[in-house]
Structure 1
Amino acid sequence: MQKILDTMRAAQRNEPPADGATRRDRLDRLASLVRDNRDAIATAISADFGQRSSEETALLEVFPSLGGIKHARKHVRRWMRVRRHWAEFWFLPARVALQPQALGVIGIIVPWNYPLYLAIGPITDALAAGNRVMVKMSELTPVFSALFADLVARYFRADEVAVVNGDAEVAAAFSALPFDHLLFTGSTAVGRHVMRAASANLTPVTLELGGKSPAIIGPGARMDHAVERIVFGKLVNAGQTCIAPDYVLLPRNQVDDFITLVTRRVETFYPSIAENTQYTSIVNDRHFDRLSAWRDEAVAAGAKAHMLGSEQGTRRLAPTLLTNVTGDMTVMQEEIFGPLLPIVPYDRIEDAIDFVNDRPHPLSLYLFADDSRVIEDVLTRTRAGGVTINDTLFHIAQHNLPFGGVGPSGMGAYHGKAGFDTFSRLKPILRQARFNGVGLLNPPYGARFRRMLSVMLGR
């Protein structure tokens, strides 16, 4: 890995900085990699999961990947422009500027849950910014990771983009390399180790972590619509989504209606869970056992499980609503990352806001409300990495919005121009004019200087 990094750094140093044409060519090849191999990509991901429909992969991974590349290709020349301004008044007629400059070699650590999109997204931003890229794929998706390494080698030179595969020890060594920037997507616990390893080299990091993203159903919200969008956001990829709704806050008198409507919606979306080829499997036995154990633990501690389907020995975990949950249950402490959905009733919207604020800042927050006062109250009084109102998930697919967490859910952001800026050094430049007055500030400091200083200080 160090040799790959050294080769890339030498190429970055010895070749001319990537101009607009070079960057667009790299983005075109990245788009071709995805577009030309859609079927093979879907097949590989499904093999790793045990079952994931090609339609779901197309919607959740191929579509946003190609959209992000198209957006970057369209705007990259404008993003590359030097950003010019006048200097401060007392230094006129000098001009100042910010010159975007590629950082060098970017390291990207990809998780298993969306292995295509969470590789392509940051690669897109890094290439648009003119960098070289090293990517560490997840060992939990070995079929896709091997395919992706092969595809990258076919579409890119080894000193442009390179893929590294291996186990957790390889990932630890990868995060300790002296990259010019390191982006990690994964759990908060692992993110701490990545940041610690990067700190030895003073490598700046962008951490896209997770947490417990709440869905708040406000008073008077359209319940049918809220249920439809929450079920969609929770059950695509069987809930194995870092921004999936993790629990629901709703008015106490609407809990029974919510359960009834969710049951109907699940039956509509995914009839016959165990045999349904459009319902994604849990990625491996360890995660299936973890989720089953958390569900059983909650029930043993007094929660009621409303299982909406039969598993019948498969890794397709039945969607399950959990009522009567308490704060000491694991499902209310840890990010669930699966199709379990705790329900937390509230009496006043202020109680729901307090419930969210009493916990670590989430990666996402979902609010279902039409009352502008409720919307404004929740927006101004809570903190989250991103917010979607009257829907779930889709703020991540908006290329004009930065994506990132806050506090325990992450630091830094990317996507679109935000990603370009993350992987660029905005070099500050001052250009002094041929004729200027700065000589008036030179020593020796006499009466003229003191009069000038008095004016500058506003006396």
Structure 2
Amino acid sequence: MADDQTIRTAETAEARRLFEVQHRASRAERVPDAALRRDRLARLRSVVAGQEAAFARAISDDFGVRSRTETELLEIVPTLNAIKYARRKLGGWMKPERRHVSATFQPARAWVRWEPLGVIGIISPWNYPLQLAISPLVDAIAAGNRAMVKPSELTPAFSDLLKRLIAERFDEVELAVVTGGVEVGQYFASLPFDHLLFTGSTAVGRKVYQAAAANLTPVTLELGGKSPAIVCPDYALDKAAKSIAFGKFVNAGQTCIAPDYVLVPRGREEAFAQALMAQVRASYPTLGGNDDYSGVISPRHRERLERAVAEAKEAGARVLVHEDEAGKAEGKVGPTLVLGAPENVLFLTEEIFGPVLPIVPYDGLDQAIDFVNRRDRPLALYCFSRDRRQHDRVLDATLSGGVTLNGTLLHVAQESLPFGGVGPSGIGAYHGREGFRRFSHARAVHKVGFVNVFEKIGPPWGGMAKRFGRMLAK
């Protein structure tokens, strides 16, 4: 049997071979027409449509348990919607865009052509393995590119299924999946793609950025961070609790845009915690044997969460947990609320990425806004208020990748809205038209009319040129 090093060497060699095949093809056949792009999108749809049960089983196997309904609603449906949206809008996106030509350069025409970059690399994460692999693929294919996908090594069942289904429907010169461990992923990031998209943690994103920089490869980084939820004094606590419980505990909190902490008016944190825990118990009466509540992806991730809870307790925080022994045996971490934690504990300094939610009191909305702004800019922000002025005040005073008002998560499901972070939560955005343009080159074209004034006046530069120059300078 081949040793691990031999396998890794073979996997990286295969990644290089696939890249070179696609790179050559992208230079030889540069701009596919709309019909071919729609055909590729239709084939991509067939990778998912009709395979829903197989994907749900594979993802559940990787997680230990993962609700089929969650996979359908949060991964399969958004993916199919994205493909449908792109196919419908593609003709308009591809049209050259007329641009203004100033009187100085008339007669002339100018326009922008949206042209494919070439070969796109996509490194997708484990938490939503289907949606976060296919969604950027939709935009890359719509823009006329070829693409390679490297799924996470933490979802081997899903990755193998995706690789097989794509290989059945696409020639490797169009689209290919590369599997393997961390070393293969590192090598993948070092390939000289025409654009590289990475979704994952900020720490790994920094390494991907460094690897891409060696080739001057442009990148889109979809990271995470401390996404806040602000509950304003005028908003009903039970309504906010229902929305936040959904956004936080779906997929056991393993969602990059999940609320990472909640800011509530001081004196109401206990009432909010009780309302939230009531909603949790209604949604997940038991954890053991309950396929509606997902497992945490690996023992290492569970141990990290357990250490952080212990740290918060030692620092004086009060912890409320909804759990049972059967759930623990299945690799589940119960929904956990943390009250009264000091600001320096792990849960308030690093992204949690699990079903643990700190509740932080504030005195006045300005203090809540300051609490958000003293941290890195988040990928998502949630604000609950019946007063539009309160919404506007929070929006004007903060900056985040995206926002849902009076709800959670839903902005990411809108194909008409860009999805992306800002600063440490990400670089660049995609989805829909923004995704098409993210993976396109805006090629400037200027067509000279029947006369070129600049050629008429020189050189050699004479009196007419000097007068013309003085006139333009005014």
TM-score band, normalised by the shorter chain?
over 0.9
Residue pair 1:8, 1:105 contacting (<8 A) in 2 also: yes
Comparing 221-230 with 70-79, greater Cα deviation is found at 221-230
Written as runs of structure 1 = structure 2, the 5 A alignment for 1:169-184 is 169-184=183-198
Distance in 1 of aligned mates of 2:311 and 2:111: 59
- 1:227 corresponding residue in structure 2: 241
Distance in 1 of aligned mates of 2:446 and 2:353: 49
Residue pair 1:86, 1:93 contacting (<8 A) in 2 also: no
Comparing 267-276 with 349-358, greater Cα deviation is found at 267-276
Comparing 228-237 with 367-376, greater Cα deviation is found at 367-376
Residue pair 2:273, 2:359 contacting (<8 A) in 1 also: no
Kindly state the Cα deviation for residue 17 of structure 1 after the two structures are TM-superposed: 2.2
The Cα offsets for residues 385-416 of structure 1, whole Å up to 9 and x where unpaired, read as 11111110111111111111100001011100
Tell me the secondary structure at the aligned position of residue 49 of structure 2. helix
Counterpart residue type for residue 348 of structure 1? G
Comparing 123-132 with 252-261, greater Cα deviation is found at 252-261
- 1:265 corresponding residue in structure 2: 279
- 2:208 corresponding residue in structure 1: 194
Number of matched pairs? 458
Distance in 2 of aligned mates of 1:69 and 1:99: 23
Which residue, 88, 96, 100 being the options, matches 1:86?
Answer: 100
Distance in 2 of aligned mates of 1:205 and 1:16: 21
Counterpart residue type for residue 450 of structure 1? K
- 2:162 corresponding residue in structure 1: 148
Distance in 2 of aligned mates of 1:436 and 1:156: 48
Counterpart residue type for residue 61 of structure 1? E
Which residue, 332, 344, 347 being the options, matches 1:331?
Answer: 347
Counterpart residue type for residue 145 of structure 2? N
Unaligned runs of 5+ in 2: 1-14
Distance in 2 of aligned mates of 1:340 and 1:311: 18
In structure 2, do the counterparts of structure 1 residues 360 and 441 end up closer, same or farther at CA, with 3 Å as the change threshold?
A: farther
In structure 2, do the counterparts of structure 1 residues 28 and 457 end up closer, same or farther at CA, with 3 Å as the change threshold?
A: same
Report whether the alignment pairs 1:377 with 2:393. Answer: yes
Residue pair 1:311, 1:318 contacting (<8 A) in 2 also: no
Report whether the alignment pairs 1:408 with 2:444. Answer: no
Tell me the secondary structure at the aligned position of residue 419 of structure 2. coil
Distance in 2 of aligned mates of 1:85 and 1:74: 25
Counterpart residue type for residue 318 of structure 1? G
TM-score (norm 1): 0.98
Counterpart residue type for residue 94 of structure 1? A
Comparing 335-344 with 265-274, greater Cα deviation is found at 265-274
Which residue, 350, 360, 366 being the options, matches 1:344?
Answer: 360
The Cα offsets for residues 318-351 of structure 1, whole Å up to 9 and x where unpaired, read as 1011001111101111100001000110010000
The Cα offsets for residues 286-315 of structure 1, whole Å up to 9 and x where unpaired, read as 111111111111111111101123244321
Which residue, 3, 8, 11 being the options, matches 2:22?
Answer: 8
Tell me the secondary structure at the aligned position of residue 206 of structure 1. strand
- 1:242 corresponding residue in structure 2: 256
The Cα offsets for residues 258-289 of structure 1, whole Å up to 9 and x where unpaired, read as 01211211111111122321001111111111
Which residue, 423, 433, 457 being the options, matches 1:417?
Answer: 433
Distance in 2 of aligned mates of 1:213 and 1:85: 39
Unaligned runs of 5+ in 1: none
Q: How many percent identity over aligned positions?
A: 50
Counterpart residue type for residue 244 of structure 1? A
The Cα offsets for residues 74-120 of structure 1, whole Å up to 9 and x where unpaired, read as 01111111111231221112111111111111000010000000000
Distance in 1 of aligned mates of 2:248 and 2:97: 42
Which residue, 407, 421, 428 being the options, matches 1:391?
Answer: 407
Residue pair 1:68, 1:121 contacting (<8 A) in 2 also: yes
The Cα offsets for residues 229-248 of structure 1, whole Å up to 9 and x where unpaired, read as 10000011000000000000
Residue pair 1:311, 1:317 contacting (<8 A) in 2 also: no
Residue pair 2:120, 2:196 contacting (<8 A) in 1 also: yes
Counterpart residue type for residue 455 of structure 1? M
CA RMSD of aligned residues (A): 1.2
Distance in 2 of aligned mates of 1:177 and 1:140: 22
Kindly state the Cα deviation for residue 441 of structure 1 after the two structures are TM-superposed: 4.1
Tell me the secondary structure at the aligned position of residue 263 of structure 2. strand
Distance in 1 of aligned mates of 2:452 and 2:460: 19
Residue pair 1:230, 1:392 contacting (<8 A) in 2 also: yes
